[in-house]
Chains A and B, each alone.
Chain A
Amino acid sequence: MGDRLQQFGDVLMEVIPAVMAWVRRRLEAGDSGEAVVRDIRSRLAEVAEDRAAVDAAFAHKFGEPLDPE
Chain B
Amino acid sequence: MITAMRHLHLLALLLLFTACAGRTETTRALHAGLNSMTDVVDPAYELAVTTCDALERSAVARNTTPDTARAAVLRVRARCDRTFAAFEATRAEQSAARAVVESFRGGTVTLVEAVTAVERLRAAWKRTWALVEALKGGQ
Q: Which residues of B contact A47 (CB under 8 A)?
A: 49, 52, 80, 84
Closest to B80 in A: A47
Name 23 interchain pairs, CB-CB below 8 A, sorted by A.
A8-B91, A8-B92, A11-B95, A19-B95, A19-B99, A21-B102, A22-B102, A38-B42, A39-B35, A40-B91, A42-B91, A43-B45, A43-B46, A43-B87, A44-B88, A50-B56, A51-B77, A58-B66, A58-B69, A58-B73, A61-B60, A62-B65, A66-B73
Q: Is the interface of A mostly helix, strand, loop or mixed?
A: helix
**A21 to B52 alpha-carbon distance, docked (Å):** 35
* A44 and B84 form a contact (CB under 8 A): yes
- Count chain A CB atoms within 10 A of each CB in B66, B80, B84 and give the residue with the most: B66
